[in-house]
Structure 1
Amino acid sequence: MSQQQKTLLPLGAALMAGGLSISAFAAEGSESSEAAVLPTIKVQTSAEEQDGYRATATRVGKKLQDPHDIPQAVTTITNQFMEDYQASSLRDALRHVAGLSFNAAEGGRSGDNMMLRGFYTFGDMYLDGIRDTAQYNREIFYMEQVDVLRGAGAMMFGRGQAGGVINQVSKAPHIGDRGKITGSVGMYGYYEMTGDFNKQITDTIAIRFNGMKRTEDSWRKNPAADDRASLDRDGFAISAGIGLNTANEFILSHIRTTTNDKPDFGVSFDATTRRPQERFPAKYYWGTNSNFDKSTVNITTASFTHRFSPDSEWRTQLRYGDYERSYWARTPSLTVAPNIGGTICTPNCNGGPTRAMDYETLAIQTDYNKKFQLFGMNHEFLAGAEYLNEDGFRHSLQNFGGTTAANPPLYRPYEINSAGNPVDFKSRTYAVYMQDTIEFIPKWKLTLGGRRDEMKAIYSNTLSPRLRYGEWSTRGALSYHFSDQSHFYVAYSDSFSPTADLYQLNVAPLPPERSQVKEVGAKWLLFEGDLALRAALYRADKQWERNTDLESTASVLTRKRRTDGIELEMAGRITPNWEVFSGFTVMDSEVRKVAVNVNPNTGALTSGNPAYEGERSRNTPPYTFNLWTTYKLPYGWRVGGGVEVKGKRYAYNPSGAGPIPTLPGETEFHPNTAPSYMRWDAMVAYEQPKWAVRLNVQNVFNKLYYDAVYDNGGFVIPGQRRRAIMTAEYRF
């Protein structure tokens, strides 16, 4: 696509949505301004209205509601929590979500790549309810909160995994003038500046601007080159709202972020111990300043909401996204120490993973919801439709150097390899969905919903260039509201996932991924709603689990996999001065049936080693625990601290027909294993109405732990060592 087309497309999207808005306002031209305003409609969209750690509003259920009322496990990371914890990125913000673990660049998927309840989430990332599956590192300076909806969410969001949905909620313009500037400095070259400015133009028009610049170095260093892994990121988000808090509300926004990082692929596993290697210190980094991870993300969204009444709303969003990225990383070695050229030659020099990617999306989504009575029963009705156009391209980079120590490999950003075949696809998805929640007798509600997705994709794969799926996803739940403060539910949801940008094709088509989740849960509100408690017991099954890598020769990882688990969570205020956010989960995950794959050349079927059946799944810790709490002291002081705990995580490839991984000389299953860890953090702040200063100490006891796991088994990435960050904040 030409640069001119890229520029015109988001502009055209804005004009189309703007035309909708202008037409709606013109239709009201004969009415008085008083008639246009609906004072009884309370729209709660800003983070400032959701102070503290207990969220009271979310759209993760496709309509604005209290998470307490959703018959499914929901965790919300609020803006206040992200600030107190000194979260800089989406990864930091999600660190305290129970049952979540981090992956490391599977299939070239360097970026935000998490596991939830033991299942991938890379196809289940959303921004304001619209799919956001591009491979990039997401920032949080423009986010008011992050909602995590556990379980198969395809009925509401479309094709998806069994673990759940991660929905980022961007900051929106609001009535009233408000501004905030923050500056942070810390160890290992940490520096960050952010700004959040909202300006009211008229009684119903406002604009909002958020900006960010951050740099930081890693504690890991190449001792020969004196080079470190590093982050260098910036961005801005600007939005304008017209008709705010009226019957017709139009919001136009644009987000742009850029990165210029030096990527870190961690340390290798040692096959003799099945643990992270100890031949070289964990502080060693195998890359150099020649490596790069550059990206540019542009997302333009137009949103129009028409409120027929306080109980009836129609919302339409139009979005264009362009995600460009290129990187060259250096993988670690078990036998070769880091050197000034960042080369590993045995005898030829391995250049390391390279990528150039361009991913474009155009999405239109419309939702209608209404509360009404019929046959003496209360109904909460939802209906919607969605169109998604995806255009993806990725390829390796051209080597402008050689393959020897004297002439090592050399790559440049976005310089595409002239050899080999790129992975290219175009996909279109059409969907319609409908759901109704019926209070059939007082305090009892039945939720039933269904969604139909039709997807057509064209690939660059010459063996099987086309993919077409038409699938149903369903959702059902029975809720009992004993009181306004208690909610008990039994829920079922399923989904499918043939996402075009995730999977290569086979000579013979195989069924799509299917997921089913059964969940029993309870939610309570204590202390007049200030503290939310929840508990959930679930079983999640996945069939025909696909590989993350389009370039893999085996697309199916397992034929059936299961996670049984229990989750406990607490969020909110125990007293007016005491805030807490905590979660605990136990997960029993196993491979139930091994993979069946099609040979891409002969079409012959091959099966994984049946010895994998019954073994624990990859990167699924048997338990996680998180706690973060703060307490207000007299005279403006506030202190806080917390702990993050994860059990052992396995890394192996379950689809192979070869021997299972073992320790040398043994026969018992023993894959590469990232050890369990416990990390403590602390905070102290002095706060005044207009300004505040805060000191965060991350990893207080300087624990060496391993944060992210390459789940095929190659390497593991060490987490942050002790780091102190001082932040100053000014509000006006």
Structure 2
Amino acid sequence: MERQPSLDRLPSSIQDTPQGISVVPQELIEQKNITTLREAVRNVPGISINAGEGGAQGDTLTIRGFSARGDLFVDGARDPGQYNRDTFNIDSIEVLKGPSSLLFGRGSTGGVINMVTKAPILERFNSAEISLGNGPFYRGTADVNLPVGPTSAIRLNVMGQDSDTVGRDLVEQRRWGVAPSIGIGLGTDTQFTLSYLHQEEDNRPDYGLPYVFGRPAPVSLDTFYGLSDDKEDVTVDLLTAKLDHVATDWLKVSNNLRAGYYTRDATTTAPRVNAPIGTPLSAIRVNRSRPSLDSETLTVNNQTTATANFTTGPLGHTLVAGVELGYDDTDTKRFGFTGLPTASLFDPDPNAGVGTPRGLTTNTSADATTVGVYAFDQIKLTEEWSIIGGVRWDRFDAESEEKVAGLSLDRTDNMWSTRAAVVYEPTDQQTYYASYGTSFNPSAEFVSLSAAQVGLSPEKNRTFEAGAKFSLFDDRIGLGGSLFRIEKTNARTVDPTNAAVTILDGEQRVDGFEFEANGRITDRWSVLVGYTYLDGEITEANDATEGKTLQNTPKHSGFGWTTYEVAEGLEVGAGAYYVGTRFANNTNTAKVPDYWRLDAMVSYTINDVRFALNGYNLADEDIYEGVYQGHVIPGAGRTFLLSASARF
């Protein structure tokens, strides 16, 4: 299907781009009443959900076996905040598989996720939606778009939600957001868009269940080991200015300026069990680890991209070149608790230890500057064959000061990233490709430095991928598949002579296969199907992890979702999601069982008013979805959402 990526850095259609790209469109977000990024990416092959750790929450994901915690972007600009990304202002979600350091800089070992926001358009409309569900669940959204001239428009999206998680006692999510934007010069050669997002959260976070004898605790999934005064207060402010200019019929230029400010005040309780195998369950006590932090993060990012189309003799060129400048500043205070009582495995008291004072343990200020310059050229050799080659240079300079310990650290890394591909297109409906790319993970990737890693160069990664994409049934169905290998060639591992020291002497590898199909079989029948096979292994390490499976890397995972319009305005849908067995740690001593989740939907639309009933986890299966080495977070039980939306 000839869908165009939103990013200027990707000038070809998804069909013609030599890497796996999955898109969660607005239609699917509406059909499934998807409210969060985590729920949206269930519909993307190769993504696993991680649990929060060390006081961190928000969206922590794994792509093709490697952490993507720092690989989240909004309209092409890095979004480093730890928060729950809501879909109220999201038009679509693009997942680019494989290393993308050439386009995005540091990170992207397994890929990146780019959220495309709703932008002003030259069409007047108003829409609103309310949703009610068990849990309980209450949510309201509105979307207003108003043209204010022949080439200008303003748009406003708002959201409010108050909800509990079905089957998880005391877990609460409360958030609201507002997102105004204005577009000038729409439909002309020079377009300017200014947008703003403000979102606030007031949650009681969920750190789930501990592991007992290497498996999730054998207790009811509604067991809550947190404390009633646990909290997660988050604010997010993103201001984005984007200028697009078509200079000539062969050259266009864009500039994207983003400023973001995030605050986070969180106190969470993580359950831990260290009982030896054979201990009677009735005798097991659960330790409560209680990380607490108060942080502020400022990020400023500017990206300039130029795309030129020209010929040199018989060769056609699409040349993309860009410059990225970035600055990140974080201030984080961490606190500790003493005297917290242990909890019963089967009947924990959420009020035990409530009100215990916290004490400051660390107070860290850190900042980092980024300079990136890149260029790549897609050269059309013949009508069927083309090659792509590109290179990027990054300078990443980080400094950190820990005020309690009186420790100052700094590190500068200069890294090159490369990409090469061969593309064969025998017809407009067929694309075959083979590609190679590199990426890197610096020690200060998340704008923090430690004494153990400050002396380490970046981890280096490389990916080999071969795949095919097809557009079938008069371009109604997109079909794609790929084989890939991702190698981390100098993974961080312990020094064999000193276990307190980290060195770059390990290797990790993921071999995989991916398949995806989406589109409409008929005007009434739509389908979305995906499957991923991952074989992830720590091939070299100086500890007990050598030869083990990478954590949170299920060998098999997949999904299917289909809808059918049975009569005018009446639509039904059903789907299934499967995630295979995963290990929670790289030593493979904690194992998380596989699960199936069954969903369904029925909707009726009359006179631009849509009524829908969505059901999730209809079989009420025990689902363990958020994985971390110390705990696992259960998914919601059987959930129903009734919604009404109107466009006027």
- TM-score, length basis structure 1: 0.81
CA distance in 2, matches of 1:125, 1:508: 24
CA distance in 2, matches of 1:186, 1:518: 45
Kindly report which structure 2 residues correspond to 1:447-462, keeping only aligned pairs within 5 A, or say none: 447-460=388-401
Which range moves more in the overlay, 562-571 or 389-398?
Answer: 389-398
Is 2:597 the partner of 1:675? Answer: no
Is 2:197 the partner of 1:258? Answer: no
2:257 aligned partner = 318
1:375 aligned partner = 313
* Closer, same or farther: CA 60–569 of 1 in aligned 2, 3 Å: farther
2:619 aligned partner = 701
1:243 to 185, 188, 192: 185
1:535 to 481, 485, 489: 481
1:232 aligned partner = 174
Maintained 8 Å contact 2:425/2:431: yes
Kindly report which structure 2 residues correspond to 1:293-308, keeping only aligned pairs within 5 A, or say none: 293-308=232-247
* Closer, same or farther: CA 428–505 of 1 in aligned 2, 3 Å: farther
2:546 aligned partner = 613
* Closer, same or farther: CA 729–650 of 1 in aligned 2, 3 Å: same
2:632 to 699, 716, 720: 716
How high is the sequence identity, in percent, across the aligned residues? 32
1:495 aligned partner = 439
Residue type at the aligned position of 1:391: D
SS at match of 1:166: strand
1:727 to 638, 643, 647: 643
Maintained 8 Å contact 2:377/2:390: yes
* Closer, same or farther: CA 77–694 of 1 in aligned 2, 3 Å: same
Structure 1 gaps, min length 5:
1-53, 223-227, 337-344, 595-606, 655-669
| Cα offset, 1:186, TM superposition | 0.5
Residue type at the aligned position of 2:551: R
| Cα offset, 1:373, TM superposition | 1.4
Maintained 8 Å contact 1:125/1:131: yes
Is 2:452 the partner of 1:506? Answer: yes
Is 2:372 the partner of 1:437? Answer: no
SS at match of 2:551: coil
Which structure: greater strand fraction? 2
| Cα offset, 1:83, TM superposition | 1.2
| Cα offset, 1:545, TM superposition | 3.8
| Cα offset, 1:180, TM superposition | 1.1
CA distance in 1, matches of 2:503, 2:115: 29
| Cα offset, 1:321, TM superposition | 0.3
SS at match of 2:353: coil
Maintained 8 Å contact 1:382/1:435: yes
Residue type at the aligned position of 1:309: T
CA distance in 1, matches of 2:7, 2:356: 42
SS at match of 1:442: coil
Maintained 8 Å contact 1:583/1:627: yes
* Closer, same or farther: CA 539–507 of 1 in aligned 2, 3 Å: closer
| Cα offset, 1:559, TM superposition | 1.7
Residue type at the aligned position of 2:238: I
- TM-score, length basis structure 2: 0.92
Maintained 8 Å contact 2:206/2:226: yes
Maintained 8 Å contact 2:291/2:336: no
- CA deviation string 1:88-138 (max 9, x = no partner): 100010112111111111343311001110000011111111111222211
CA distance in 1, matches of 2:211, 2:506: 27
| Cα offset, 1:479, TM superposition | 0.2
Kindly report which structure 2 residues correspond to 1:276-355, keeping only aligned pairs within 5 A, or say none: 276-278=216-218, 280-332=219-271, 350=288, 352-355=290-293
1:630 to 559, 563, 569: 563
Maintained 8 Å contact 1:74/1:147: yes
* Closer, same or farther: CA 250–728 of 1 in aligned 2, 3 Å: same
CA distance in 1, matches of 2:177, 2:148: 24
* Closer, same or farther: CA 118–554 of 1 in aligned 2, 3 Å: farther
RMSD: 2.4
CA distance in 2, matches of 1:513, 1:217: 40
2:355 aligned partner = 410
SS at match of 1:106: coil
CA distance in 2, matches of 1:554, 1:190: 48
| Cα offset, 1:395, TM superposition | 2.1
Equivalenced residues, count: 623
Which structure: greater helix fraction? 1
- CA deviation string 1:394-431 (max 9, x = no partner): 222476x965699935379xxxx763322321100101
* Closer, same or farther: CA 473–411 of 1 in aligned 2, 3 Å: farther
Is 2:297 the partner of 1:359? Answer: yes
CA distance in 1, matches of 2:352, 2:65: 43
1:647 to 551, 576, 580: 580
1:480 aligned partner = 424
* Closer, same or farther: CA 587–634 of 1 in aligned 2, 3 Å: same
Maintained 8 Å contact 2:211/2:272: no
* Closer, same or farther: CA 205–633 of 1 in aligned 2, 3 Å: same
| Cα offset, 1:87, TM superposition | 1.0
* Closer, same or farther: CA 310–185 of 1 in aligned 2, 3 Å: farther
* Closer, same or farther: CA 694–309 of 1 in aligned 2, 3 Å: farther
SS at match of 1:332: strand
SS at match of 1:511: coil
CA distance in 2, matches of 1:249, 1:510: 44
Structure 2 gaps, min length 5:
276-283, 343-350, 494-498
CA distance in 2, matches of 1:378, 1:567: 31
Residue type at the aligned position of 1:389: Y
Maintained 8 Å contact 1:514/1:543: yes
1:575 to 522, 537, 542: 522
CA distance in 2, matches of 1:643, 1:503: 42
1:34 aligned partner = none
| Cα offset, 1:556, TM superposition | 6.5
* Closer, same or farther: CA 371–507 of 1 in aligned 2, 3 Å: closer
SS at match of 1:83: helix
| Cα offset, 1:464, TM superposition | 6.1
1:523 aligned partner = 469
| Cα offset, 1:334, TM superposition | 5.0
| Cα offset, 1:178, TM superposition | 1.3
* Closer, same or farther: CA 474–730 of 1 in aligned 2, 3 Å: same
2:414 aligned partner = 470
Residue type at the aligned position of 1:543: T
Maintained 8 Å contact 2:441/2:458: yes
Maintained 8 Å contact 1:61/1:156: no
